[in-house]
Amino acid sequence: MSDPVLKPDLCVIGAGAAGLSVASVAAAFGVPVVLVERGRMGGECLNVGCVPSKALLAAAEAAEAFRRASPFGIASAKPRVDWPRVRAHVDHVIAAIAPNDSAARYGAMGVQVIRAEARFTDARTLQAGDATVRARRYVIATGSVPAVPPIPGLAETPFLTNDTLFSLPARPDRLLILGGGPVGVEMAQAFRRLGSEVVLVEQGALLGKVDPELTAHLAAALERDGVEIHAETAVESVSSGPQGLVLRLANGRELTGSHLLVATGRRVNTEGLGLEAAGVDVDPSGILVDASLRTRNKRIYGIGDCAGGPHAGDRLTHMANHHAGLVIRNALFRLSGKVEQVAVPRVIYTEPELATVGLDEVEARKRHKTIRVLRWPYAENDRAQAERLTAGEIKVITTASGVILGAGIVGARAGDLVTTWTLAVKKGLSVADLRDLIVPYPTLSEVSKRAAVSFYAGQTRGPMVRRVLSVLRAFG
């Protein structure tokens, strides 16, 4: 007897951050949901991405605290790094979070979880293992996988990606990193602080299109840690030999190492899904979606890392959750909504952290006739001085009248501080709104307020203000 056809309201393909968000919210509303996942529940973020990388960065920060204790009157020391225990810490963090993403938990919510390959057989039908699904709506959330550049010799040379990096049995003696994006710089600092020699190579600018003024602070911090950086440098070939792995650069130099991490971006994971049969278009950027994340087949949505085209936005976990919210609004409640393109925070979790939101200076000058650039250094913040976290600054971009267009922060806890500026960009607030905000003293959040107040610095010396004050003094 053949298995019956499943006919849920919603079928979600992929149990990463985006897919799990859709499934859990839909189930909370009592909507029948089928969730299909061929790999590990939790996807890339939980298992080989955000979670393990931040756990490793936390271990690296703990090691660095030993080296930097002297200014506080505590003897500095060289940390003894026990790599198996570092790995155990990373594994513990993943294990602590994993139950939240487990098949058992989602089953308890009422979600029918199918652990199998998924493939569309026509525009309305999906085959998932032995199960046939004919859902009212489908959500494709299959994520992305590491992209490997076509460098001569790379395919024949052992290399790591974030999929394999966190299961290393031993700490690399000398780690070569190919790619100076967020993953590259975060792992460069983490492994350097944990005792590896680290060499980072980036064919373009470090961190790509991030404001170079902010990036300069981060590059200086990496170099202080001992990371060897080769930016604007192409790799001509990769090989392995008796001396280890060898990167031959376009400038004629050769770099050797014990391990190679390829961190040159990601590509969409849509192989085997039968998207052509489903009437879903794909290009190198991913599944082509409109501003509401619908594909050409209006029954099917593409969200998270696998979504592509001009409407999808950045590949970020919090962007994936944003996508999930839009699909719930549209698919379940028929409410309109578009992907946010401007008020999207982006964070590099190094020390110092680097966070941005909205327009940077270059883009703002393209869109607006006149802008103001406001700055405030961490060194002028009392809490930063107390904790010796004085490296960095905030840079705010406004219109001539003070409407906030964007902000960039490089410094301690920038990833937390950028939330205020995300709200400001989202709601079209002005510097006056932040000027009048009461913030607790002493906190790093005062950096944000001081930057906003600096918009008015010239007015205190203006002749009109001085005349008004003079007249008011005359009246006692």
- Say if 59 falls within a structural domain: no
- Say if 474 falls within a structural domain: no
Strand order in the sheet with 282-283: 282-283, 286-288, 307-308
279 labeled binding residue: no
The Cα 282–Cα 280 span in angstroms is: 7
143 labeled binding residue: yes
pLDDT at 466: 63
- Say if 391 falls within a structural domain: yes
Same domain, residue pair 217 and 166:
yes
pLDDT at 1: 41
Q: Residues of the chain whose pLDDT is less than 50?
A: 1
Same domain, residue pair 325 and 376:
no
By CB atoms closer than 10 A (0-12, 13-18, 19+), residue 435 is middle
What does the block give as tokens for 407?
């902000």
308 labeled binding residue: no
387 labeled binding residue: no
272 labeled binding residue: no
129 labeled binding residue: no
pLDDT at 476: 63
- Say if 51 falls within a structural domain: no
Same domain, residue pair 124 and 176:
no
Chosen domain end from 218, 239, 264 = 264
- Say if 22 falls within a structural domain: yes
pLDDT at 324: 96
Chosen domain end from 333, 360, 379 = 333
Between β-strands 5-6 and 126-128, what pairing exists: parallel, antiparallel or unpaired? unpaired
Residue numbers of the domain that contains 390? 346-461
Same domain, residue pair 129 and 276:
yes
Same domain, residue pair 282 and 197:
no
Same domain, residue pair 293 and 398:
no
Could you tell me the end-to-end alpha-carbon distance of the chain, in angstroms, rounded to an integer? 97
Q: What is the CATH number of the domain that holds 10?
A: 3.50.50.60
415 labeled binding residue: no
54 labeled binding residue: yes
Q: Which amino acid is at 376?
A: W
- Say if 325 falls within a structural domain: yes
Q: Distance of CA 341 to CAs 311, 335, 399, Å?
A: 8, 19, 19
271 labeled binding residue: no
- Whole-model pTM: value is 0.94
227 labeled binding residue: no
Residue found by looking up tokens 């031959």 in the block? 248
Chosen domain end from 284, 307, 333 = 333
The Cα 101–Cα 230 span in angstroms is: 39
pLDDT at 242: 85
Same domain, residue pair 449 and 351:
yes
Residue found by looking up tokens 């690399």 in the block? 172
276 labeled binding residue: no
Same domain, residue pair 131 and 226:
no
179 labeled binding residue: yes
Same domain, residue pair 218 and 360:
no
Yes or no: say if 266 and 315 are a contact pair by the CB < 8 Å rule.
yes
Same domain, residue pair 13 and 107:
yes
Count of domains observed in the chain: 3
- Say if 225 falls within a structural domain: yes
98 Cβ contact partners less than 8 Å away, ≥ 6 residues apart? 41, 42, 46
213 labeled binding residue: no
Q: What is the CATH number of the domain that holds 423?
A: 3.30.390.30
212-225 and 182-193 are packed helices; what angle lies between their axes, rounded to 10 degrees?
A: 20
Same domain, residue pair 23 and 130:
yes
449 labeled binding residue: no
Same domain, residue pair 125 and 274:
yes
142 labeled binding residue: yes
- Say if 72 falls within a structural domain: no
